[in-house]
Amino acid sequence: MNNFVEFWDSLGYNRFFLVLLVITFAGHAVYMIYKAVLLMVNRKQGVAAEGEGVSVIITCSNKAELLEKNLEAFLTQDYPLFEVIVVDECSEDDTQDLLSDLQQKYPHLKTSRIFPGTKFRCTKKIAINIGVLAAQYDILLFSEINCVPDSKQWIRCMQSYFEPNTAVVIGYSNYEAGNKGTGLPRYFRFLWFWKMLLLVRNGFYSVGNGYNMGYRKKYYLEKRGYTGNTQEYLGYDTEMVKVLSQKGKVKVVKDPESRVSIEEISPKIWENDFSYYYATRRRWPLPVRMRISLDFVVECVFYLLAFYFIFWSQLHKYVLIPLVLTFLIDFMVINLCLKHLGQKKLFITSLTVNTFGFIYRWYYSIYSIFTSRKWR
């Protein structure tokens, strides 16, 4: 006991840093396990009206090749009562000819068009509004033409979560595994979904997923959609989650049949993903931003203290233990969660991001400041 007291006294002001190191290590470890439990615990589906009609709405601009490749995956869903509405945003390629040909084969395909030469600065929200007004069913599902559902049961699974008091259902989407250079983009979209689920489960409704989500038409009309903010791309998905959460429940689902794969991938596309996320994040209410950033702050403090002890203290050998444990906990938890979602594990990427993650976050946070104009 005397030896410990002598040792403790010999630390001087470092004793306070050591206590803070232990607290931040324990806090980060507990929070990681808590997030994993939230993700992996299965919640019971509600009792939705079986066979309720569904309208799938897709907007696109100059994407004829992707329409030809991916649209049939939506048109051939195994569901008794649905329609697919494609709103063409000023395309000048073969989009209209392709849609006309597909309509001959699929009578439940509807189309609408915003003609080239429009004076609108941004047509995304206008196109969504056109699709909503054209829909004949109350349940609306949204995706993008660079995506395909992972299952022919996608509509059925998403619809099954729409109880009468459900306003929004958000599904999982990620880049298709196996392509070179998709490790970091796939990791990012996984973290995006994880944060979204965490926020919703804690009563914060500020994140959406335009690749895979749905809401009720009646609530959209009651809240008057994007009234007052149609000339801005930013928030076309997140705004609806925030606004429609006032009308009913918001659910985040992760069933295998509810997932969507993003097939088109390039450096520009996933950098846009990053910058869009951070540009949207700056609009979140302060309590939401604080909640989602808390673990990052705790983790940064832990690493700063750990490196301080390693380089400037006689405790460097002992500090390596919690440092290695933190890497292992993060590595194991993240890859277990990926496995739970049916995703290919990202061993190397998770190690890289755990090591240099703060650099990625700061870089894209600053990068989004200079690119945010494109979303307005």
Is the distance from CB of 262 to CB of 193 less than 8 angstroms? Answer: no
| Residue 232 and residue 291 in one domain | no
| Residue 19 and residue 149 in one domain | no
Query: Residue 119: its pLDDT value, please?
Result: 64
The answer to whether residue 166 sits within a structural domain is yes
| Residue 81 and residue 158 in one domain | yes
Say which DSSP state 257 is in.
G
| Residue 294 and residue 152 in one domain | no
Q: Label residue 225 left, alpha or beta by phi (over 0 means left) and psi (-120 to 50 means alpha).
A: left
The answer to whether residue 5 sits within a structural domain is no
The answer to whether residue 140 sits within a structural domain is yes
Specify the range with the lowest mean pLDDT, choosing from 92-101, 218-227, 266-275: 266-275
Instruction: Tell me which residue of 287, 270, 269, 274 sits closest to 361, measured CA to CA.
Output: 274
| Residue 115 and residue 20 in one domain | no
Percent of residues, the chain, with pLDDT higher than 90: 46
Whether the pLDDT of residue 4 is over 60: the answer is no
290 to 281, 287, 341: CA distances (angstroms): 11, 5, 27
pLDDT grade, residue 300 (50/70/90)? confident
Q: Residue 8's CB: how many other CB atoms inside 10 A?
A: 11
DSSP assignment string, 221-246: HHTTTTTT--S--TTTTHHHHHHHTT
Specify the range with the lowest mean pLDDT, choosing from 26-35, 98-107, 276-285: 276-285
The answer to whether residue 296 sits within a structural domain is yes
| Residue 74 and residue 147 in one domain | yes
| Residue 83 and residue 122 in one domain | yes
| Residue 357 and residue 226 in one domain | no
The answer to whether residue 315 sits within a structural domain is yes
| Residue 25 and residue 90 in one domain | no
pLDDT grade, residue 221 (50/70/90)? very high
Beta bridge partners of 55: 83, 140
| Residue 164 and residue 260 in one domain | yes
Domain boundary residue, one of 195, 230, 265: 265
Q: Label residue 6 left, alpha or beta by phi (over 0 means left) and psi (-120 to 50 means alpha).
A: alpha
Query: Residue 250: its pLDDT value, please?
Result: 96
Domain that holds residue 125: 54-172+209-265
Is the distance from CB of 339 to CB of 345 less than 8 angstroms? Answer: yes
The answer to whether residue 353 sits within a structural domain is yes
The answer to whether residue 254 sits within a structural domain is yes
pLDDT, tens digit (0-9, with 9 covering 90-100), for 11-29? 667 778 888 989 999 999 9
Query: Residue 146: its pLDDT value, please?
Result: 92
As a whole number of angstroms, the distance between CA 261 and CA 173 comes to 6
| Residue 92 and residue 215 in one domain | yes
Q: What is the CATH number of the domain that holds 225?
A: 3.90.550.10
The answer to whether residue 7 sits within a structural domain is no
Query: Based on the structure, what is the number of domains in the chain?
Result: 2
pLDDT grade, residue 255 (50/70/90)? very high
Q: What letter represents residue 138's amino acid?
A: D
| Residue 330 and residue 354 in one domain | yes
Query: Residue 263: its pLDDT value, please?
Result: 84
Whether the pLDDT of residue 61 is over 60: the answer is yes
